Chain A
């Protein structure tokens, strides 16, 4: 099962969980799985059109997913990391 690393600002819906082992063969399917388990999570990652928010970046095994991130395949042992720019003065 791939794992999903959750940044601290997004851990409200996941009840504090920092890492989740998820099911799915692509990034999009994995995010859907997380949403079913932790409702409210995906709205933090995807906008109303289903695209990744501009302030969010997705990384697979440390590599930034730039083009079509939701279609990127994920296999057992892969790590999907969600990074969001949250800070600000």
Chain B
């Protein structure tokens, strides 16, 4: 069993291995990050200063044979929202860390010389900080190509690009996938990359060597669960077999495919941005679907090639096609693929970046649909141009830079594709989630839901997703609380009750809300940008007009119905 944590002090340049407390047995990923941050991070600290704490935490089931269970959480105080943040990513490092016996990496302090770069090398023997100035300023792909020549083939990487080094608030943390070790998976939201950059940490190299899979206390039962769950999933509808990009037409139909900075919820370019076009391209260009981590049975990630048959990017997702595509009136999925690649190289959240670019367009500072100008602007970012900084710092910064009025955000974080005007219950999640406007915190796509059910549905999905994000399972595997507690039970060798699993999710939310409260958040912050209350969308002229008392009801623990335990994780 993994029973240690790696504590890294970037001020003193010391690394210490600490035992993983037994009382935290059921904590991993998001839940573990929340606990550590509440206990060890000053919520009022400067998010880019030495007091912030960066947590890299695989899930409870990571490293085991459970299918699609290797997700890793990156947690900190967010420089974008000012509150707690957990951003979740696929890729290999989560599995590798737990196989080596580590439940988390906790990074504190800050190098005295902000111009220096460091790396953390993690092996079965332990962890050490090494100088990394030679990699300073490198784009993520170039960095990983060079690292691949330095480290054993088994090594996976966690890295930042220039955006993180510049401490831009839209900066992401990249992880490498299992095939080519491309840095195409991103813990993207909330500026977690900026925090890693503020610690002077350019990359983490995790070499699992010959470390083997983590075994459950009840091996036979766990093995049967893995087999049964996988068989049931693989004999089902396989809704994500072509990736999330295939969601474009239905989102467009539901008026939640934002166009031109969200003035419309439908795009005239839905057909050319449809993921079906990407799938069609595989035949002539190569590429295809793959899994980003060992043991993934969903295989929702696409490998996208250009017209010349060469690799362009991986994991070209629905949100990216929306925010860098439709929302900027870019019509071609191929342009979006190149923009996605640029964001991955720089280490930027495609949602926040697309939203920021759309604000510049809406303000007349870029032309709608001008993909070449978007690419040129992104390429300016490492050089530190003012407009590059504005875009790299996210939608609110872009709003201030332009003085524009339409800045769609929740707690300072850009809205994702799923619009709270036709999807009001999702808007309730955006208002109450400790993460700000984050669809992975709890997406509810049910246009027929009546307002009296919004609070319960939002609380339900937030609990389910909090548990999922703590477990290591990918949300696209869509496990329920009953599924997760069955796996936990076999892993630990004891019954995990419905009360306990529900309690884990609720406690994670409470820890995160408490952090935000101590950071200074109040009920006044549980609102969305004005434009969402004023600008109607769709045939029903929907605005976000959910009553404050409905929003506030999410904070009171409700008695879970049977549906709480059968509801699938949704993101």
Contact = CB atoms under 8 A, between A and B. Distances in A.
**Chain B interface residue bracket vs A:** 20 to 34
Interface stretch (B131-139, B242-250, B362-370, B549-557): B242-250
Given A44-B253, A64-B237, A88-B318, A11 B447 contact: yes
A12 B571 CA distance: 20
A8 B445 contact: yes
Interface of A: 8-9, 11-17, 43-44, 53-57, 59, 64, 83-89
Nearest to B253: A44
Contacts of A16: 446, 448-450
30 contacts: A8-B448, A9-B446, A11-B447, A12-B254, A13-B448, A15-B448, A16-B448, A16-B449, A44-B250, A53-B249, A53-B250, A55-B247, A56-B250, A57-B237, A59-B237, A83-B237, A84-B250, A85-B247, A86-B250, A86-B445, A87-B240, A87-B244, A87-B247, A87-B476, A88-B251, A88-B417, A89-B318, A89-B319, A89-B439, A89-B571
Contacts of B416: 89
A43 B249 CA distance: 11
B81 interface: no
A67 B501 CA distance: 41
Given A12-B448, A17-B448, A55-B247, A85 B240 contact: yes
B36 interface: no
B439 A85 contact: no
Contacts of B449: 8, 11, 16
Contact of B253 (A15, A43, A85): A43
Given A9-B447, A86-B445, A89-B244, 18 more contacts: A8-B445, A11-B449, A16-B446, A16-B449, A54-B276, A55-B239, A55-B247, A56-B250, A57-B239, A59-B237, A83-B239, A84-B239, A85-B239, A85-B246, A86-B251, A87-B570, A89-B475, A89-B571
Given A55-B250, A87-B571, A89-B571, A12 B244 contact: no
B443 to A, nearest CB: 6
Contacts of B448: 8, 11-17
Nearest to B425: A8
A54 B319 CA distance: 19
B317 interface: yes
A86 B244 CA distance: 8
Contact of B317 (A44, A64, A89): A89
Nearest to B239: A85
B237 A54 contact: no
A17 B447 CA distance: 11
B440 interface: yes
Interface in B302-334: 317-319
B317 A55 contact: no
A88 B319 contact: yes
Contacts of A88: 244-245, 247, 251, 317-319, 417, 571
Contacts of B446: 8-9, 11, 16
A54 B239 CA distance: 10
A13 B244 CA distance: 24
- Candidate in B319, B417, B447 with the most chain A CB atoms within 10 angstroms: B447
Contacts of B417: 88
Interface string B416-453: 11000000000000000000000110011111111000
B475 A87 contact: yes
Nearest to A44: B253
Which 5 pairs between the two chains have the least Cβ-Cβ distance? A11-B448, A88-B244, A12-B447, A85-B239, A16-B448
Interface string B351-374: 000000000000000000000000
Interface in B549-571: 570-571
Contacts of A13: 448
A9 B450 CA distance: 13
